[in-house]
Structure 1
Amino acid sequence: MTGGMEDAAVIGGLMAVQFVYAGNSVLLSYLMSLGLNPLTVVICFASATSLFLSPLALYFERSKWPKKLSFKLLLQLVLLSFGGVTLFQTLLLEGIKLTSPAMATAMPNLAPGLIFIIAWCCRLERVKLSCVYSKVKILGTLLCVVGALTMSIMQSTITIPAKEQIITSPPTIVFFNKEKIVGCLYLMLAVFILSSDVVLKATVLSELPAPMSLSAITSFIGVFTTAAVLLLQNHNLQTDWSILNIKDLLSYSLLGGTVSGISLSFNGWAMKKRGPVLVSIFSPIGTVISVILSVFSLGDTISIGSLAGMFLMFCGLYFVLWAKGKEDYCDGSGYQSDDFDLEKPLLS
């Protein structure tokens, strides 16, 4: 494949992936509106993702598997599965149910800033306050947080015209929708768990440098950790077949799990070819697509204030990504280490 064709394939594919993510969010919102238990949806989708990725991982990455599975690696895989599959996806689905697909696709744009903070605290990320790029990263992270809070507050308000009684009365009365505020908190917590999961994944990839295999394994283990949580919650593995028949649920699960697996695989290929920064730059496109799809398919609305919050978040995201792309040259040195080297900054 020539350079021009490869660039076109990467950019076109990344655009298609964002359409898939947006459509998946709308599909999940529809399933939540039917009254399905989020844990049931997580189990079905994680099973489908594992089934799709396992043969691909076996074919392409078998040579990268460690010869011996240590207890430390096994514990890390369980933690990744519980955090990245059970907790993250359950909180994400609860957030979608209480807010909207647009909010659910916008909140993950907080992740680069949170990953930067968590990795900094864990000493996996370099920060030099004398370097302008480190200052830009900090500014971008603050903008992401401010944008997320603004979007959450504005999307959680309801404006009701006041009764015409006295001239001095305020023209409107503003109420906060408690349900949407709780939903936004679910989404923020989900992104924090996702960011922590990414930092842990960086350490696991140094021992298991096979991202597709790692996703297949964590999805497989995640099925059992989620089932355990469902068992503890309901005292039985009660399903929601009365809400949606098993044929439709399996169809939706295979569709969602397969397209997620394809998107994940393509993102891994694109990262290898062009780096994670380029892949991350396309993330806001998924939010815009999700807004459009949810307005036309679900009848959702989004306020001007929420759009302003999204704009701040996107600006912060690009500040962080731009600074990460330039930071390695601040002191005239660059990283030539392996892709999964722990000494390499997570977002570089």
Structure 2
Amino acid sequence: MDIKADIKVDIKAEPKAAETKKAAGWEWKAPASMVLVQLFITGMILLSKVSIGGGMFIFALLAYRSLFGAAFILPLALIFEKGKWREMGWHAAGWIFLNAFIGYAVPMSLYYYGLRDTTPAYAVIFLNIIPLVTFILSLVFRMETLQIWSIAGSLKVVGVVLSVGGTMLISLYKGKTMHLWKPVLHHMGQNTTEVAGNHLRGTIFLVGSSITLACWYLIQSKVMKVYPYKYWSSMVTCLVGGFQTALVGIILSRDKSAWKLGWDLNLLTIFYSGALATAGKYSLNSWVVAKRGPAYPPMFSPLSVVFTVLLDSIFIGDEITTGSLFGTTVVIAGLYIFLSAKSKEVRDK
């Protein structure tokens, strides 16, 4: 028996076994991280709805949330991109200013006003159709081509049609109301229902928010070319976005009480939005993109719709109707078809 040969085989096999074991260990962490991100988004929408329904000034929420987000991202920038702030010239600063305006100040203002006039379960749909709007704008500006006779191209068209049709269905058709449970925050739910006065106006705000955010994705690609440091770029974007929304807020309301913070739900909403829905979401997304690629995180986006519909009904008490359930199912199906086609297209390149 050749003992030396056996030892050599074992030595070679051990690293491979260790690598396989390590890969298996990471296998569950990527999907778990993406589920957590969708829960972060759901929590932010629900908390924001309750805070706005309780009378919090929207621009104060936007300004504080953005500044808190900058504070949480700053340590990541200092650790992973140490000293890279020195490479930010005036050209890059100009693009980041535009990035903050188009990517945060305008779309999030429109989104929160749309959320005020509708429900969380309805508003979250518009966050999920942003990839579809981005795709349509990319076609309009000829930044992307559509091979409609290919399988991926046909599926993308089907996905867009289903998602837009499902959104219209939710907006126009209510159907039978299902009273499944009593809301946990019953009185809070009544207040937010009273605030949601103009559904059409809210829908217009939400559509505007989706279009602006889709434009932001196109601008973001330019920002990463002129200044390819994602943590510093995100931190400065949050900081500038906070000052932009604060300036608009001061112009609209000189009432000092609108800007005061106490130990209440409003402070929790701001802290949660900055720490988890901004810094936490960004960090987890970046890690998963590095491990699985850019097509992986969007595949989990429909989960935020499911989480929001359920938790909105359980905690706030907004009604679940057969129309909203059917429309939401159609939107999720359309989004999955579109994202699957997009993922296939990326793999085939």
Q: Is the pair's TM-score, using the shorter chain for normalization, greater than 0.5?
A: yes
Shift of 1:230: 1.5
Structure 1, 10-19 or 249-258: larger mean CA deviation:
249-258
TM-score (norm 1): 0.82
Q: In the alignment, does 2:225 pair up with 1:206?
A: yes
1:116 matched residue in structure 2: 135
Which residue is 2:57 aligned to?
37
Structure 1 residues 179-188 or 62-71, which shifts more? 62-71
Code of the residue aligned with 1:254 in structure 2: it is F
Residue 271 of structure 1: CA displacement?
1.3
Whichever residue aligns with residue 294 of structure 2, its letter is P
Shift of 1:328: 4.5
Question: How far off its partner does 1:329 sit?
Answer: 6.2
How many Å separate the matches in 2 of 1:107 and 1:280?
14
1:27-48 CA-to-partner distances (Å, cap 9, x unmatched) read 1111011111111100111011
Match of 1:257 among 274, 280, 283: 274
The superposition leaves residues 159-207 of structure 1 with CA deviations (integer Å, 9 ceiling, x where unpaired) of 9xxxxxxxxxxxxxxxxx9712221221121111111111110121122
CA contact (8 A) 2:162 2:331 kept: yes
Instruction: For residues 58-86 of structure 1, give each alpha carbon's deviation from its aligned partner in whole angstroms, at most 9, with x where no partner exists.
Output: 21123665725133x22221121112221
Q: TM-score, normalised by structure 2?
A: 0.82
Q: Which of the residues 66, 73, 78 maps onto 1:46?
A: 66
Deviates more, 1:246-255 or 1:136-145: 246-255
Cα distance in 2 for partners of 1:287, 1:102 equals: 7
| Equivalent AA in structure 2 for residue 109 of structure 1 | N
Aligned residue identity for 1:60: F
SS in 2 for 1:297: helix
CA distance in 2, matches of 1:287, 1:193: 20
Which residue of structure 1 aligns with residue 14 of structure 2?
A: none
Match of 2:329 among 301, 308, 311: 311
Residues of 2 paired with 1:205 and 1:262: CA distance? 20
Q: Is the 8 A contact 1:66 1:207 kept in 2?
A: no
CA contact 1:88–1:190 (8 Å) conserved in 2 = yes
Residues 74 and 111 (structure 1 numbering): CA distance in 2 closer, same or farther, change over 3 Å? same
Aligned positions of 1:134-153 closer than 5 A = 134-153=153-172
The residue type paired with residue 262 of structure 2 is I
Residues 285 and 274 of structure 1: CA distance in aligned 2, closer, same or farther (over 3 Å): same
Distance 1:129 1:9 in 2: 36
**Gaps in structure 2 of 5+ consecutive residues:** 1-20, 178-195
Q: Could you tell me how far apart the structure 2 residues matched to 1:7 and 1:211 are?
A: 25
Residue number among 172, 196, 203 corresponding to 2:215 in the alignment:
196
RMSD of Structure 2 on Structure 1 (CA): 2.3
Instruction: Tell me which of 263, 277, 280 is aligned to 1:247.
Output: 263
Contact in 2 for aligned 1:65/1:209 (Cα 8 Å) = no
- Aligned match for 2:310, one of 277, 287, 292: 292
Are 1:25 and 2:41 matched, yes or no?
no
CA contact (8 A) 2:120 2:312 kept: yes
Unaligned runs of 5+ in 1: 160-176, 335-348
1:57 matches 2:77: yes
Whether contact under 8 Å (1:86, 1:226) holds in the other structure is yes
Cα deviation for residue 283 of structure 1 reads: 0.9
Instruction: Indicate the SS of the match to 1:128.
Output: coil
Which amino acid in structure 1 is aligned with residue 291 of structure 2? K
3-state DSSP class of the match of 1:226?
helix
User: Are the aligned partners of 1:133 and 1:323 in contact in 2 as well (CA < 8 Å)?
Assistant: yes
Local SS of the residue matching 1:246: coil
More helix by share: 2
C-alpha distance after superposition, 1:246-268 (max 9, x if no partner): 33344432232111211211011
C-alpha displacement of 1:123 = 2.8
**Contact 2:176-2:321 within 8 A present in 1 as well:** no
Q: What is the letter of the counterpart of residue 69 of structure 2?
A: T
Q: State how far apart, in whole Å, the 1-side matches of 2:132 and 2:269 are.
A: 33
Given that 1:148 and 1:309 are in contact with CA atoms closer than 8 Å, whether structure 2 keeps it comes out as: yes
Alignment match, 2:12: none
Please show how residues 84-233 of structure 1 align to structure 2 within 5 Å.
Answer: 84-154=103-173, 179-233=198-252
Q: Does 1:81 align with 2:100?
A: yes
Give aligned pairs, total. Answer: 309
Deviation, 1:323, is 1.4
C-alpha contact (below 8 Å) 2:88/2:227 kept by paired residues? no
Larger radius of gyration: 2
Q: Sequence identity of aligned pairs in percent?
A: 26
Q: CA deviation at 1:20?
A: 1.6
| Alpha-carbon separation, structure 2, partners of 1:215 and 1:329 | 28
Which whole-Å deviations, capped at 9, do the CAs of 1:208-250 have from their partners, x for residues lacking one?
223232221111000111122123323x3744257xx433344
- 1:303 Cα deviation from its structure 2 partner: 1.4
